[in-house]
Amino acid sequence: MTKSTESHWDALQGDWNRLSNVHLRDLFDKSSDDRFTQFSQSMDDMTIDFSCERIDRGAMENLLALASASGVETARNAMYNGDAINNTEDREVLHVALRGERGDGYVVDGAPAADLVEPERDRFLKFADDVRDGTYTNAAGARFTDVINIGIGGSDLGPVMAVRALSDFKGDGPNVHFVSNIDGAHLTDVSRDLNPATTLILVASKTFTTIETITNAQAAKAWLKTELSGADADANLAALSTNLDATADFGIDASRVFGFWDWVGGRYSVCSSIGLSVALSIGGENFRAFLSGFRAMDQHFKTAPLDENLPVLLALIGIWRRNVMDCPTVALLPYNQRLEFFSAYVQQMDMESNGKSVTNAGDLVKHATAPTIWGTPGTNSQHSYFQMIHQGTDIIPVDFILCANPSSPLDYQHKLLTANFLAQSQALAFGKTGDEVRAEMTDKGIPADEVEALVPHRTFAGNRPSTSIVYADHTPYSLGRLIALYEHKVFVQGVIWGVNSFDQWGVELGKVLARDIEPMLDEGADLSTLRASSRGLINCINALKS
């Protein structure tokens, strides 16, 4: 918060003082059908409905004023212009250039970004198609049946999510698997039923030094060699990296090393060569459609006025929830089984980007930042934690996502899915009063004393906020657009909070300590430099192992 925004935050607090005791039933009664019109916004076939949020027109106008006063438009333009807005690492933030067209005019170091992006994109998409159609094979001329992508964080979560989400578009492509955890059980479980001779290993690490990834890659290469000679095993390797010396030392020919750039953050990298596993699964043409969806939202975010801008509006609702309503968590619930990993993907994007307590200027932030993001697909989630969302002591805002047309031929199931999607937002907003419960039970002939005993348990207070996102069809294009919607939402919130959304120094400390502790796990190691808790745990672990 700066002096220029203090009055806007004060105005929002005044809005909440006015609205905190107003029920959503009353907000809907006042505006009737106009409330959906007032609090929804569309881009092509995608509509976002904010009408079940605890806001009114005055609050929305003050949120938009906060965005303007915080410099959202200026910061957005700086990103698109290629300014080094990642100030702690002195880097541009140009993941939008990965899915842009030459005419978009993105520039890096004074030269067109397309001069870098297009040749590398063409290279990795050609490789993907060559693997899929059998042009590139193993050393014996056999087609690859499986791919294992070895990475972690941004080199894993985006591809995992996208491959699962777009599984309907696999066609004759290889089966794509993922290994991220340094726990050897992950690689063991993934590789157990695969044939090393027909498995392609992708090693995804920009620096080729990420300890979890390189350790797993070494183990995977040893697994290849259980069936293949050294040179033949190397033909089953490719890398997503910029460290050509390290990849060459690992045995990977430069023709199978695909790079990306420092101005691409890991959690924003699925559109780069990090997305090779996605391209191997769905093919180059579908991958280009995936990129087109990103670009459509990029262009919308860049040009739409703030009050019509989907990422901006979604971000402002998040600011209202987090900072005005003081809700520390958000449930992100896609009513689409194909999006079962989407919540985990957005979790990293949001919490790693904005989970900061220091501003760009190095001062402590004045407001709470990133909420905890979590969730699983509906309707499964309705039978686990929805009890707490409906009747728990904490208010948990929800983002619901629905694709209007089914991703399977089972139309009736999709009808039920849609009914549940609509019912949950209605139930959260309006609840069920004690009088409604009492009348319902009385009509069923339940004795009056039993009715009164059960009324408190069957009453739903409602007034619990949610946003609903709907779009037509689940395709590579629509997935790219949906991801970009949340990317830009996170960016806008980071600007308003004044934090750098593109570094992640908090990730590094544990890695450094782990490297220091690892040698101390050897028998007889000197533990005197460790804190008592670590010494005690190491002794306990060693005793259990022996």
Going from the C-alpha of 270 to that of each of 95, 154, 375, the distances in angstroms are 9, 8, 21
Whether residue 379 has a cis bond before it, omega within 30° of 0: yes
* Identity of the residue numbered 519: P
Rounded Cα distance between 485 and 345, Å, is: 13
5 touches 66 (CB < 8 A)? yes
Q: Which of 53, 92, 212, 352 is catalytic?
A: 352
Q: Where are the alpha helices (DSSP H) in 57-183?
A: 57-69, 72-80, 95-98, 114-133, 157-165
Radius of gyration of the chain (CA): 26
* Identity of the residue numbered 506: G
Active-site residue flag, 383: yes
* Identity of the residue numbered 54: R
Q: Which of 383, 444, 457, 545 is catalytic?
A: 383
Q: Spell out where 432-508 has E strands.
A: 466-471
Going from the C-alpha of 86 to that of each of 79, 97, 103, 273, 525, the distances in angstroms are 9, 16, 25, 22, 41
Going from the C-alpha of 151 to that of each of 241, 368, 412, 484, the distances in angstroms are 11, 31, 39, 22
Rounded Cα distance between 396 and 466, Å, is: 9
Q: Which of 415, 452, 508, 511 is catalytic?
A: 511
496 touches 66 (CB < 8 A)? yes
Provide the 3-class DSSP secondary structure of residue 36. Answer: helix
Q: Write the Ramachandran bin of 459: left for phi over 0, alpha for psi from -120 to 50, otherwise beta.
A: beta
- Whose tokens are 């005993």? That residue is 453
235 touches 139 (CB < 8 A)? yes
Active-site residue flag, 511: yes
Active site residues: 352, 383, 511
